[in-house]
Amino acid sequence: MNMDITQSTMIELRDAIAAKQVTAHEVTEAYLQRIAALNDSLGAYTQVFAERALQRADEVDAGKVTGALAGVPIAIKDNLCTTFGRTTCSSKILEKFESPYDATAVRRLEAAGAVILGKTNLDEFAMGSSTENSAFAPTRNPWDTTRVPGGSSGGSAAAVAAGLCAAALGSDTGGSIRQPAALCGIVGLKPTYGLVSRLGLVAYASSLDQIGPMTRSVSDAALLLDVIAGHDPLDSTSADDDARGEGVDYLDTLGQPVDKLRIGLAKQYISDANDPQVNAAIDAAVAQLREFGAEIVEVDLPHTEYGIATYYIVATAEASSNLARFDGVHYGHRTDKPEDLIDLYAASRAEGFGDEVKRRIMLGTYTLSSGYYDAYYLRALKVRRLIKQDFDQAFTQCDAILCPPTTHPAFAFGDKTDNPLAMYLNDVYTVNCNLAGIPGLAIPAGFADVDDHRLPIGLQLLGPTFSEARLFQIAAALIGDQPAPLADYRLPG
């Protein structure tokens, strides 16, 4: 069969392998060759498991490995635990850490026959919006390598957009799947909290973190979610299977017609501060939905403006607690020749953590400290509840809310590194989704012209809990199921 392997979707590759039109070995080899050629300058992968991937592909070709993803090459974010390779979270403190177990999402991928190519770069411990905070090297946006790919799942987004894998897993605590998906021009889903097991996802903020798919098409995202979703008895926050509707198959329901659709527009998400091309993409989507017969409903989310402040109290408080385990004794880096136990803790953490992680630990420790707990943390939890109630009320009027995932296309390296608040505000349209525990889907919406470059922009669909099937249907109505174009990325020079 004459096919361009790295231009193909996940489902196309799966079907071609199953029909023996191409071997899993040939598919894996094609991606490994592309990684070898492009990754050094792109920085998408932190580790590549070439020998293991080819061995796995050979087992697929021999019929020893089967499943819904048999032979499909996938990348996983380097904050997902694996018994192979290292699990670094792009941090020096975990640079040599080898996990004794696999994350549930990884186990489910492999049970479905996927070939895991490697682990992708991220902002250290998933704390960032640009993948500039990696302890090893930044990841570059394949559409313009002078710009960021977004974060924290920037490595996964860049790998998918540049054709270095057929699909990838990311994690989303405050927009870390949806924002880089939008900036790299791909599909990215933050599932309902609890839909995908968090077992083996190195925790940043436990009440916000979720694992989700990053792909080039809506149907690929639906299939990947089918594989990784479902109850996990080893995760106490994992939702029961009947919560999402018994027997729901996201890929099978994708092609079903969507009737009497009501789409909400919230004034809080449409701002003059947005790039005009971002607002124009929303207007175009609204016009397209009206052509499909959808009713456009104005909804109010009055507590939206408090989302960033609430998020950066709740998330940093949980990070302060979660990252206390990395102390030079239990896990990770240990300083050489400490003077005493206190020096062991202090020096190990100072040497192992980067500046942004230290900043968030200090913020979280402060908000949890005596005298400030009630004023900051408890108040933030109350506002979080109000944000959730805003969404609950809005979804009595509409099936989904259409909004931008980002205010602008990808920004240049260094533009926001000296101003943490400006970097945090980059997530203004994504954090409330995590605070409310609802699903959010980012999809490509074309390109913006910025400084003689065509840069991707995206749309975001927010829905009630466990409405992923409906969000996929709306997305397919908007953009069809043609795969997003690969970035025309070449080696410099």
pLDDT tens digits in sequence order for the chain, 493 residues long? 567 899 999 999 999 999 999 999 999 999 999 999 999 999 999 999 999 999 999 999 999 999 999 999 999 999 999 999 999 999 999 999 999 999 999 999 999 999 999 999 999 999 999 999 999 999 999 999 999 999 999 999 999 999 999 999 999 999 999 999 999 999 999 999 999 999 999 999 999 999 999 999 999 999 999 999 999 999 999 999 887 766 689 999 998 888 889 999 999 999 988 999 999 999 999 999 999 899 999 999 999 999 999 999 999 999 999 999 999 888 789 999 898 999 998 999 999 999 999 999 999 999 999 889 999 999 999 999 999 999 999 999 999 999 999 999 999 999 998 888 888 888 999 999 999 999 999 999 999 999 888 999 999 999 999 999 999 999 999 999 889 999 976 544 4
Active-site hit among 8, 129, 152, 467 = 152
Residue 8 bears catalytic tag:
no
Phi, psi of 215 (to 5 degrees): -145, 180
pTM of the model: 0.96
Question: How does the average pLDDT of the chain come out, rounded?
Answer: 95
Peptide bond into 467 cis (omega under 30): no
pLDDT of residue 246: 61
Phi, psi of 22 (to 5 degrees): -155, 150
In terms of Cβ atoms closer than 10 Å to its own Cβ (0-12, 13-18, 19+), residue 452 is exposed
pLDDT of residue 451: 85
- The Cα 209–Cα 188 span in angstroms is 15
Active-site hit among 8, 77, 90, 197 = 77
How far are the Cα atoms of 64, 144, 274, 453, 484 from residue 456, in angstroms, in the given order? 40, 10, 15, 10, 10
Q: What is the distance, to the nearest Å, from the Cα of residue 475 to the centroid of all Cα atoms in its chain?
A: 17
pLDDT of residue 492: 44
Angle CA 154–437–187, to nearest 5? 35
Residue 219 bears catalytic tag:
no
- DSSP symbols for 280-329: HHHHHHHHHHHHTTPEEEEE--TTGGGHHHHHHHHHHHHHHHHGGG-SSS
pLDDT of residue 493: 41
List the domain boundaries for the chain: 305-383
Which parts of 138-281 are beta strand (E)? 167-172, 187-190, 210-215, 262-266
pLDDT of residue 303: 97
List, in order, residues 6 or more apart from 122 with CB less than 8 Å away.
77, 78, 79, 89, 90, 128, 131, 134, 151, 152, 153, 154, 155, 156, 176
Question: Can you say whether the dihedral through the CA atoms of 429, 431, 434, 436 is positive or negative?
Answer: negative
pLDDT of residue 491: 44
Active-site hit among 90, 99, 134, 176 = 176
Neighbours of 238 (CB within 10 A): 21
Contact 38, 164 (CB under 8 A): yes
Strand, coil or helix: 196: strand
Widest pairwise Cα distance in the chain: 71
Residue 337 bears catalytic tag:
no
